[in-house]
Structure formats: structure tokens, C-alpha cells
Amino acid sequence: MLIGKIVGTVVSTHKTESLEGLKLYVVKNIGADGKDASGYVVAADSVGSGVGEVVLYATGSSARQTSVTDNRPVDAIIMGVIDTWDIEGDTIYTKDESAETADE
């Protein structure tokens, strides 16, 4: 899995049937040091996450191991909103508890 920040949304009305109902986010990679890293992915959401949140995402066939992505042509899934992570004893990131999460 990798850490990323949800920075935007992708809208596609003309799509394969099995993608119906999935929320698609643009997720920019974040390094283990908490800084922006190169690369992005468009990931489906399985946890009701929202723009601005720092999340954990998985890629490949593992992205289909959730009830919302089972048997769908999805190769990237957001499966957790990150509360905090640390590196060698230092807290790299802590979620702003005052922020709202978009549960849909």
C-alpha cells in the first residue's frame, strides 16, 4: 500500500457498466517523510473518504478485494483514512480531527 492525499475528483459518464456508482478520486503520492512525492493514481473509494484527506491505497488485483470493487475493472482502491503515522519515533502526520469526512 502507499500513502496519498486526495486532491480531486474524476467524472466519467461514458464508462463501462461495472464502474457505475463508484467514486473516483485523484490521489497524489506522499513520501514516507510526509512530503509530496511524484506520481498520482485515480483510485476508487471504499470508505467514504473525501478531498483533502490523507489515505492508504492499494493497487493491482488487491484493489478488487472489497465489496464495492469486487469483479470490477478497478486497479486502485482507497481503503483507509490515515489518522497518523510515524517514522523512527517522529510523528510524521496527524489527521486534523476538526476536519469533516465525507461519508456518503
Decide if residue 35 touches a copy of itself (CB under 8 A). Answer: no
Decide if residue 60 touches a copy of itself (CB under 8 A). Answer: yes
60: closest CA among 83, 88, 79? Answer: 79
- From CA 67, how far away is CA 65, in angstroms rounded? 7
Q: Identify the residue among 1, 96, 99, 102 touching a copy of itself (CB under 8 A).
A: 1
Decide if residue 40 touches a copy of itself (CB under 8 A). Answer: yes
**Pairing of β 36-45 and β 76-81:** parallel
Decide if residue 65 touches a copy of itself (CB under 8 A). Answer: yes
In the shown chain, the binding pattern of residues 14 to 33 toward a copy of itself, with x for contact by CB under 8 A and - for none, equals xxx-xx----x-x-x--xx-
The grid cell for 57 is 491505497
Q: What is the DSSP string of 53-86?
A: -EEEEEEGGGGG-STTTTTSS--EEEEEE--EEE
Decide if residue 34 touches a copy of itself (CB under 8 A). Answer: no
* Site residues (vs a copy of itself, CB under 8 A): 1-3, 7-16, 18-19, 24, 26, 28, 31-32, 40-43, 46-49, 56, 58-66, 69, 71-77, 79-88, 92, 101
